[in-house]
Amino acid sequence: MTGMKEITTEELQKKLEAGEQLELVDVREDDEVAQGIIPGAKHIRMGTIPENLDKFDKDKEYIMICRSGNRSGQVCRFMQEQGYQVTNMVGGMLEWEGETK
């Protein structure tokens, strides 16, 4: 098993500000997302990822987001094992200083 790809909140913010089209997936619970989500991110709760794998494309790379980076890291490991290209946003929304909606 290869190491997990990671991106910092600052790196992600720079990519978004540069207009890059990224596939963001927020795996937090509904009440957490209600407090703010990165614009453009899809919300798919961690517990529902296995039944939602058909919503992902193995040719695309996904950046997984949670509150602190722990749950999204677990989702990344699971999805990597299924053959998906995933990157974990380390620090999660606790460290996110960019725009939320």
Say if strands 85-90 and 5-8 run parallel, antiparallel, or are unpaired: parallel
Are residues 91 and 9 in contact, defined by beta-carbon separation less than 8 angstroms?
yes
Amino acid at 26: D
SS3 95: helix
Catalytic-labelled residue, pool 66, 86, 89, 93? 66
Is 76 annotated as catalytic?
A: no
Instruction: Cite the active site residues.
Output: 66
